[in-house]
Structure 1
Amino acid sequence: MSKEILRGGQFLVKETNCEDIFTLEDLNEEQKMMRESTKEFVDRELWAHWERFEKKDYAYTEACMRKAGELGLLSVAVPESYGGMGMGFVSTMLVCDYISGATGSFSTAFGAHTGIGTMPITLYGTEEQKQKYVPKLASGEWFGAYCLTEPGAGSDANSGKTKAVLSDDGKYYSITGQKMWISNAGFCNLFIVFARIEDDKNITGFIVENDPENGISFGDEEKKLGIHSSSTRQVFFNDTKVPVENMLSERGNGFKIAMNALNIGRIKLAAACLDAQRRVIKEAVTYANERIQFKTPIINFGAIKAKIANMATNAYAGESASYRAAKNIEDRIAIREAEGNSHQEAELKGVEEYAIECSILKVAVSEDVQNTTDEGIQIFGGMGFSADAPMEKAWRDARIARIYEGTNEINRMLAVGMLVKKAMKGHVDLLGPATAVGEELMGIPSFDTPDFSELFAEEKDLIKRLKKVFLMVAGSAVQKFGPELEKHQQLMLAAADILIEVYMAESTILRTEKNAKRSGEDSQKTQIAMSKLYLYNATETIIQKGKEAIVSFAEGDEQRMMLMGLKRFTKYTNNPNVVALRTQIADRIAADNGYTFD
């Protein structure tokens, strides 16, 4: 390939050219058609009937899933040899993005089926298992569910107590145990179940057909804050017999299956939060344009403009980073396949390569969608608090995203921990750049006035320095604590927030720079403003989290030196007029009556 594809985590220590990233504006005609057909389905079947999902109409969720299967939307990621469309990773992200905007209930059912319900068989199943089960799942004839969580095993997934005992004749396993929070449990035909064989260190995966006469029973539908029409029940296995040929992958490989499923699930969860933001912005702007107070539409008030601008800016950043990472994964899969890897191995390794970015995206976009829905309620005022308006249900549905696929706290610590482990394995050179930053802190800073005449020259220079903040903090922390770093969770959380903001801000700048180069700066005026606003907000977060981290472990001269470095690395040469940026962004969105940058 003619472009350079960085390995996972290398964005921190290597510069990325804007030409080397993928943006939503790079979609090909086939992908654009798929996006439009997905949006038509959502508008017709989901958004138009959002009240049905709020009334716990589980049957309607199942009916919509069948219609999605008929349209091929459940089979985008499934290879053609098993009845799927066999499309690339970006296309699967695209469908996940646009099918998820109308209701969290359907989004959850869709994600549980296509991701953790179907994908483990596609990636880990034997040829016989794939031929038997995947075509039914791809078409929507059957639906899948994923049984991992237990009352005593949440974030610590490998601690599950469910047992699998081999029969005396060696023909089947008997599974006994309790699973909870199982999405699609009320209408699924097949479970991916994780259980422990004897005293194995790691759990094992099994494909279990849903047969009530085979020791499978269910709890009542859970009463939940949101996603009301997502069927969520406890599942009880009592001596459930599973043929030995239904073991998924190898004995003891279940934890690996679960973790890799989570990696893929994390980036797709980020995608699933994007269109929800766009639709909330659309509703909020429409309301603000029409709502008259003090003889003027409330969209004209600066306080409302600030909210609209931040909502749109975060949505734009989420798009930029999500599709950047998705294309990196797709390209890495293609490289591995060209090197002779099977599709299964290529996809597993391709996603695993960018596990850091997957965790970053999961955290950033899930928190942005929550903030967007919260501001949407605020813009609606009293009507926003009413269940008769869509904002209230959007806020409730968004809340689960910070818990799904590993809580955001877990993912923050994972992102930093995985990066440190990559550095120790030599996959990402953190030591060299961190040492260089340490030497820079000891040196005399340059007082030369840089040339910032080109678009984003100052912003890209600032991003380079923001990366140094992470290297300074993480490098010193690793040096001080070594393997004990993981015990210092609050320090890791602060470092993770720095890492997250760097990736999101850089992705946003690179997307806009790429589009400005090919379409002209005039076509990107609002996008330029959003990129600058996001970077400003990111820098403010990094200043806060950097100080929090530094004072937590450094003292005396070391602390003073690092705090001076933090100030130097986060300093603007020309401070942006943030109020003007917000006003420019909000005025464009008000004129368009919604978010139109996708």
Structure 2
Amino acid sequence: MSTEATEKEILRGGQFLVKETACEDVFTLEDITEEQKMMRDSTKEFVDREIWAHWERFEQKDYAFTEACMRKAGELGLLGVAVPEAYDGLGMGFVSTMLVCDYISGATGSFSTAFGAHTGIGTMPITLYGNEEQKKKYVPRLATGEWFGAYCLTEPGAGSDANSGKTKAVLSEDGKSYKISGQKMWISNAGFCNMFIVFARIEDDKNITGFIVENDPSNGISMGDEEKKLGIHSSSTRQVFFNDTVVPVENMLSERGNGFKIAMNALNVGRIKLAAACLDAQRRIVDESIKYAKDRIQFKTRIIDFGAIKAKLALMATNVYVDESASYRAAKNIEDRIALREAAGNTHQEAELKGVEEYAIECSILKVAVSEDVQQTTDEGIQIFGGMGFSADTPMESAWRDARIARIYEGTNEINRMLSVGMLVKKAMKGHIDFLGPATAVGEELVGIPSFETPDYSETLSEEKALLAKLKKVFLMVSGAAVQKYGPQLEEHQQLLMSAADILIEIYMAESAILRTEKNAKRFGVDTQATQIAMCQLYLFNAVDIIQTKAKEAIVSFAEGDEQRMMLMGLKRFTKYQNQPNVIALRNQIAADLEEHGQYRFDG
């Protein structure tokens, strides 16, 4: 980002809905620097050599092997990409950390979980909330892989409702330490970690407090057996019990009662990083599926030549392309916002916290969309492999099981759907987004006379962009009317919020892919983007179907009579194509590209 950039030039979180974004202003995978390409390539080489080549070991609950791979990642500096150089990290920007998280996570969910738990929720809370003494003591060990971290938030009675935890922290009579007692569950890396971030309640405080707790079994810390899980078999997951565990007062993280804020901000970062961690997993599944489909002969024909298989491959590749586009768009927005705040005098800690918090809506959108796409991609991968896909002798079966946890991690997808719309409404109420003005304008448009002019769609993706602008009107129409009807009680109408969220998600994902492709068509030539254009058109076609269904579901849930009829007519108007795309031809075009190159080739 140039030093002349101002806050006005960077869209705030959620503003994509009400302000037009120029394609030149989005960051794409094609924009990464030579340094970032080297980081990406070295990460891929490490994963291919140390992890993908041994994927079967991760299915045998080989926790020691996971730990050994983590140490090797630490030796290469991969655990410290986001850590400032002052604490033995690489001090790289947010996009670079996304790249490493993306490509290091492609081979197995077990290693991806260990990596994410350590670098994200294990290390980041100290980096962003710790004082100087805490950072100097703990962060270099964590950045280099000398120590591993874990995060103790979830309890038997406190999952999505994180602030309801019962774990207690009692101050000693001399005021020098706290005694922590309680039970934590689903703790990733518990079996080999050296340190926990533990959340506990002091007295009857409204909010929980964070503590840095060293893992010392002689200090009242014990663990349950390794959990038996559907997937991520070699990710160490255990219950952790604290029984009068003594923690020095200087190990309180941030301030008393600040634990809930730490937990929520850790989740914001975790959500976009989780999206990144689902990208290369999809690419590898697509590549393996292409290879198998080209080799597998049935009825004297390669199965890749069957239309049903082409449709699956096209959908899988399209989802990866769209997911990449949205993930790196948001990552660069966050990086630019961090730079802007640092230039304004904020510390790195303050800048990163506020930078990520600004795009919490996008982080929730990405978490939902990409976690559901990776599940669909692995499911289709199994189907392409047929009986071999169901066999544990191929990586499809384990990939499908590993993918399932992504919809639960970092707040369930149901929670994140409701959060995305709820946060948008709150931003509007605070004046951070002019949401009600455009919503009112759409309401006025509904009672006006529609234009019957035939627009000029000669520019690349111009019809798709025009349709996207109308889809934004659908969201404004539905959510604006819902806010007007229910006001503060809107959050009680969860199914309505979830329908609105699905509309919001499809808009952001489709727009990200369209803007990426438009940008690349302008600088590399339209001919170079033929398949990418086809993927944008295919995704948008499917998005329109989803939006029509979800908008109708929402409208009839709260509107009646003339209002309902008017909104349904508006929905029909706002989702109408001028020229319907030939979806089968688009799928065949995408599949032909995948067959020709033998792999997914669109990640820069």
TM-score (norm 1): 1.00
Give the equivalent residue in structure 1 for 2:88.
83
Residues 1:355 and 2:360 aligned together: yes
Partner residue, 2:215: 210
Following the alignment from structure 2 to structure 1, what is the Cα–Cα distance between the partners of residues 485 and 416? 23
Where does residue 164 of structure 2 map in the other structure?
159
Q: Give runs of aligned pairs for residues 501-520 of structure 1, distance below 5 A.
A: 501-520=506-525
Deviations 1:80-100 (A, max 9, x none): 011100000000000000000
Letter in 1 for 2:400: W
Q: Deviations over 1:546-581 (max 9, x none)?
A: 101101111111100000000000000000000000
Per-residue Cα deviation, 1:334-361 (whole angstroms, up to 9, x for no partner): 0000000000000000000000000000
**Residue equivalent to 1:335:** 340
Determine whether 1:439 maps to 2:428.
no
Structure 2 CA distance, aligned partners of 1:142 and 1:29? Answer: 31
Q: Which amino acid aligns with 2:388?
A: M
Alignment match, 1:295: 300
Matches within 5 A, 1:116-265: 116-265=121-270
- Offset of 1:133 from its aligned partner? 0.2
Q: Deviations over 1:431-490 (max 9, x none)?
A: 110000000000010000111111111110000000000000000000000000011000
Counterpart in 2 of 1:469?
A: 474
Q: Are 2:534 and 1:529 equivalent residues in the alignment?
A: yes
Distance 2:323 2:463 in 1: 22
Measured against aligned partners, the alpha-carbon deviations of 1:401-441 in whole angstroms (never above 9, x if no partner) come to: 00000000000000000000000000000011000000000
Q: What is the CA–CA distance in structure 1 between the aligned matches of 2:592 and 2:456, rounded to whole Å? A: 31
Q: Which runs of 5+ in 2 are unaligned?
A: none
Q: In the alignment, what sits opposite 1:497? A: 502
Over residues 157-205 of structure 1, what are the superposed CA-to-partner deviations in whole Å (9 max), with x where a residue is unaligned? Answer: 0000000000000000000000000000000000000000000000000
Quote the Cα distance in structure 1 between the aligned partners of 2:595 and 2:385: 15
CA distance in 2, matches of 1:592, 1:160: 52
Partner of 1:374: 379
Amino acid at match of 1:164: A
Partner of 2:552: 547
SS, match of residue 74 in structure 1: helix
Q: Which amino acid aligns with 1:204?
A: T
Aligned to 2:78, the other structure's residue is in SS state coil
Aligned partners of 2:540 and 2:33: how far apart in 1?
29
Aligned mate of 1:385, from 349, 370, 390: 390
CA displacement 1:246-270 (0-9 Å, x = unmatched): 0000000000000000000000000
Secondary structure of 2:106's aligned partner: coil
Which residue does the alignment assign to 1:20?
25
- How far apart are the structure 2 equivalents of 1:440 and 1:170? 65
Alignment pair present for 1:589 and 2:597:
no
Per-residue CA deviations over 1:120-150 (Å, capped at 9, x if unaligned) read: 0000000000000000000000000000000
The one-letter code sitting in structure 2 at the alignment partner of 1:82 is Y
Question: For residues 211-250 of structure 1, what are the alpha-carbon distances to aligned partners after superposition, in whole Å with 9 as ceiling and x for unaligned?
Answer: 0000000000000000000000000000000000000000
Q: Distance in 1 between matches of 2:122 and 2:592?
A: 43
Return the letter of the residue paired with 1:512: T
CA RMSD of aligned residues (A): 0.5
3-state secondary structure, aligned to 1:447: coil
Q: What's 1:72 paired with?
A: 77
Equivalent position SS for 2:336: helix
The alpha carbon displacement at 1:399 in A equals 0.2
Following superposition, the deviation at residue 590 of structure 1 comes to 1.2
How far apart, CA to CA, are the structure 1 residues paired with 2:597 and 2:372? 25
Looking at structure 1, the residues matched to 430 and 591 of structure 2 have their Cα atoms a distance apart, in angstroms, of 46
Deviation, 1:593, is 1.2
Please give the alpha-carbon distance, in whole angstroms, between the structure 1 residues aligned to 2:16 and 2:537. Answer: 19
Runs of 4+ in 1 over 3 A off after TM superposition: none
CA distance in 1, matches of 2:222, 2:305: 56
What's the TM-score, normalizing by structure 2?
A: 0.99
Distance 1:324 1:190 in 2: 34
Question: Does structure 1 residue 579 correspond to structure 2 residue 579?
Answer: no
Tell me, yes or no, if structure 1 residue 486 matches structure 2 residue 491.
yes
Query: C-alpha distance in 2, partners of 1:587/1:216?
Result: 57
The 5 Å alignment of 1:406-445 reads 406-445=411-450
Q: Percent of aligned pairs with the same residue?
A: 84
3-state SS, counterpart of residue 50 of structure 1? helix
Q: Distance in 2 between matches of 1:585 and 1:433?
A: 37
Cα separation, 1, equivalents of 2:142 and 2:476? 45
Task: Tell me which of 11, 16, 22 is aligned to 2:16.
Answer: 11
CA distance in 1, matches of 2:300, 2:592: 19
The within-5 A match list for 1:23-102 is 23-102=28-107
Query: Which residue type is aligned with residue 36 of structure 1?
Result: D
- Choose from 93, 103, 111 the match for 2:108: 103
Question: For the residues of structure 2 that align with 1:223 and 1:596, how far apart are their CA atoms?
Answer: 37
| 3-state secondary structure, aligned to 1:117 | helix
SS in 2 for 1:207: strand
Instruction: Deviation per CA, 1:269-297: give whole Å up to 9, x if none.
Output: 00000000000001111000000011110
SS at match of 1:62: helix
